[in-house]
Amino acid sequence: MEREWIIEDNSLDAETLLKNESIFSTANGYIGIRGNFEEKYASNLKSIRGTYINAFYEKVPITYNEKEFAFPESMQKIVNVIDSQDVDIIVDGERFSLFEGTVKSFKRYLDMRNGYYRRDIWWVSPNGKELKIKITRLASLKYLELFSINYEIEIIKPVNEIIIKSGINADVSNYLNPDDPRVSAGYSNILDLKSIAIEEGIIQASAETKSSRETVAVTTSHYLNLAHEEYYEKGKKWAKAIFKIKPGISKINFTKYNIYTDSRRFEKPEASGFKILKDVNRKTFKDLLMEQRICLDDYWSNSDINIQGDENLQLVIRYNLYELIQSVGKDSISNIPAKGLSGEGYEGHYFWDTEVYLIPFFTFCNPKLAKQLLKYRYIILDSARKRARELGHKKGAAYPWRTITGEECSSYFPASTAQYHINADIAYSYVQYFLITGDIDFIKDFGAEVIFETARIWLEIGHFDDGLFKIDDVTGPDEYTAIVNNNYYTNVMAKYNLKWAYKIYHMLKERYSQSLSKLCEKIKLEECEIKQFLKASENMYLPYDKKLKIIAQDDSFLSKAVWDFKNTPEENYPLLMNYHPLTIYRYQVLKQADTVLANFLVEDEADFETIKNSYDYYEKITTHDSSLSCAIYSIMASKIGYMDKAYKYFIETAKLDLDDTHGNTKDGLHIANMGGTWMAIVYGFAGLRVKEDYIILNPKLPLKWSNLKFKLLYRKAEISVSIYKEKTKITVNAVIPVKIKINNKLHSIPPGSGISYEIPNIYK
Ligand code: BGC
């Protein structure tokens, strides 16, 4: 049982150390600290030492030699903030390091039930001093500003003196890799020191970003369980507490409390840091662990997935789910960075990843957090409107492809601004949230405005041609094909956006006409536009190839030459790292699911045969160079009944970071893919779908599994699902009547608790 909650990796080789800095990062959605060693590595080993605050950013200029109209002038990047990890143990003059002396045993693991990360070490110094050291870290889920480290030291052979040096360090910089477009190529020295303070046993450093002028402070105190001498030192950019412990001691317990505060959340980060610290450092580390457990019990009670038949996979699934709670921003100025808070890849930006790959999980398992994520898009709506004007659109909002505070942060428009589909993805997630929670108030107060403003863009960029509504010059999700006419994904998602703008308008007109009038007045929305929404939606052109009987990815895709896969050596993948984009654009080759994704999100737009044929066709030419691909192929393979493939793609998804199959886990975890793990199980193997008035379950268990259990919250009902090979059992606690279709039979479930159904499976 325990083992199913513990992720362990004890290797100390160079490559694994870097990867494990991401794997063992400690985060809570506000702060994230990579799994670096407090005492650092041997000097020949590389480390990306990093601490990040969600949505805390620097503004850096984008330089172009040929800057065209409305290209973004600057971008934002996440900041490697002040480091509070430093702790050194010095025994009789010898500094503890895993790379000196003898390591009698070393274990590092993440406990996902209790929410901490630990290193367990038995060490003998070069001169024969012997210590057992247990180092435990947590980023508190209760006190989001707190990152705490606890040392339990056991002195095996008597020593004369132990010194603990614990510091904070503002001499930090961001990580650069000029050869990888997915990592930053410039601006690494971001922070200017503001102050270093030592006050009544508390050390504090604060610094300011050079351009965005945002402040971050770290305020630190310590607890030591025994008599000691204690003094403090400070340098230009650092401060340190030094503890001298006398001989004759056999056990030491030492806790470091670090409070991170920043000017995006606190008016006076330095003063708030002191205040929060004084509240929190009264707690023992044991208290903090207990509170962490309570938060996680709450999280797991709705979010856990239980499988029987593969113990190792159970653990892997939990790891994916654990990273979701570690990564999700918990206030509405932050969201979910593509790499969570585990690394600097994609510079801490938020993408469509959130709406398509992550909000589904949160909506079904943690709707409060889903609401925050959606609200974030509402908060940046003004920036999206501004961007639309810059792009020449008279009305509507154009959401940025990647951003932190709402401004477009990409300089490469073919694979960013041209991905207008992000507008439809955002609208889609609001609608799905509404269908799943039934929360019409949220739609009235926030969703409607976003859905109307995003819908308007399609009228701006599309046009009627021979009665059909067409959308030219866009890029779909597949970034290996750019600036095309009538990308099916974009058109069909725009259709959904337009249709729902029309529907919501009428829903609100009926129930909340006053609020609607106010909103229409605010955004100058007229009834004739609503009619245009419907007309464009009903006449949306959806490309189809009659000969192949498949959906065409876009107007020109199927007439291109197919990529020469046979003669492409393994080491040339991902293609984006080895070929000029134009070379890639000229061929039929996909980076990630595109049409196949559309066939999942809006499956009723195509019949089963077309969906199957399209899957067969596009699968052969998809590289899955993007981590957002395999989960979708798994879901759709389940739908079609290709269960071997569904399982294969699922394994690829679930293990992507733990096995580092993309080779870049060191730059951060692939969070969308982790949401994809949940989706591949729940939408894939369990066959969940959301319809207007009911949900569907259509289970197909992988061969190896004898049972799959998970929970869903649907319209305030708690639904416990347990799927066996032969049958599906659900137990429902409902507040209002809800409808669930299982294996093609619709069940109307009355309010009440513990109502159970057992339905034989069609697919066994
Ligand atoms: C994918 C995008 C994704 C981004 C961030 C890219 O490689 O092609 O679809 O949004 O990564 O995860």
How many Å lie between the centroid of ligand 1 and the Cα of residue 613?
A: 26
Tell me which residue has its CA closest to atom 7 in ligand 1.
Answer: 626
Instruction: Assign 29 a pLDDT band (cuts: 50, 70, 90).
Output: very high
What integer pLDDT is reported at residue 22 of this predicted model? Answer: 98
Q: What is the pLDDT of residues 644-653, one digit of tens each?
A: 999 999 999 9
Q: What is the number of alpha carbons within 13 Å of residue 200 lying toward its C-beta? A: 3
Do the beta carbons of residue 653 and residue 635 sit within 8 Å?
Answer: no
What burial class does residue 571 get, using C-beta atoms within 10 Å of its C-beta: 0-12 exposed, 13-18 middle, 19+ buried? exposed
Q: What is the number of alpha carbons within 13 Å of residue 607 lying toward its C-beta? A: 3
pLDDT of residue 58 exceeding 90: yes
What integer pLDDT is reported at residue 183 of this predicted model? Answer: 84
- With a CB cutoff of 8 Å and minimum separation 6, the contacts of 362 are 324, 328, 369, 370, 373
Tell me which residue has its CA closest to atom 5 in ligand 1.
Answer: 338
How many Å lie between the centroid of ligand 1 and the Cα of residue 665?
A: 14
Q: What is the pLDDT of residues 693-732, one digit of tens each?
A: 999 999 999 999 999 999 999 999 999 999 999 999 999 9
Instruction: Assign 419 a pLDDT band (cuts: 50, 70, 90).
Output: very high
Q: pLDDT > 70: what percent of the chain?
A: 100
What integer pLDDT is reported at residue 177 of this predicted model? Answer: 87
Do the beta carbons of residue 257 and residue 280 sit within 8 Å?
Answer: yes
What integer pLDDT is reported at residue 180 of this predicted model? Answer: 86
What integer pLDDT is reported at residue 298 of this predicted model? Answer: 98
Active site residues: 479
pLDDT of residue 185 exceeding 90: no
Instruction: Assign 14 a pLDDT band (cuts: 50, 70, 90).
Output: confident
Residues with CB under 6 A from ligand 1: 338, 346, 351-353, 477, 479, 591-592, 626, 628, 672
Least confident of 318-322, 523-527, 760-764: 760-764
pLDDT of residue 97 exceeding 80: yes
What integer pLDDT is reported at residue 182 of this predicted model? Answer: 84
Do the beta carbons of residue 635 and residue 301 sit within 8 Å?
Answer: no
Do the beta carbons of residue 468 and residue 539 sit within 8 Å?
Answer: yes
Tell me which residue has its CA closest to atom 1 in ligand 1.
Answer: 626
Q: Give the atom of ligand 1 at the shortest distance from the alpha carbon of 346.
A: 5
Q: Give the atom of ligand 1 at the shortest distance from the alpha carbon of 349.
A: 5
Nearest to 722 by CA among 742, 703, 747, 693: 742
The pLDDT of 555-580, averaged and rounded, is 98
Mean pLDDT of the chain: 97
pLDDT of residue 328 exceeding 70: yes
How many Å lie between the centroid of ligand 1 and the Cα of residue 704?
A: 31
How many Å lie between the centroid of ligand 1 and the Cα of residue 482?
A: 14
Strand blocks (E) in 428-467: 462-465
CATH number, domain 3-293: 2.70.98.40
Distances (CA, A) of 544 to 353, 483, 523, 682: 27, 19, 36, 29
Distances (CA, A) of 490 to 146, 194, 484, 485, 619: 42, 47, 10, 10, 19
pLDDT of residue 1 exceeding 60: no
pLDDT of residue 761 exceeding 60: yes
Phi, psi of 741 (to 5 degrees): -100, 120
Mutation test of ligand 1: which of 353, 665, 674 has the most ligand atoms closer than 8 Å to its C-beta? 353
Tokens encoding 558: 């199927």
What integer pLDDT is reported at residue 517 of this predicted model? Answer: 98
Q: Give the atom of ligand 1 at the shortest distance from the alpha carbon of 477.
A: 9
What integer pLDDT is reported at residue 206 of this predicted model? Answer: 98
What integer pLDDT is reported at residue 494 of this predicted model? Answer: 99
Angle at 677 between CA 326 and CA 79, to 5 degrees: 35
How many Å lie between the centroid of ligand 1 and the Cα of residue 346?
A: 9
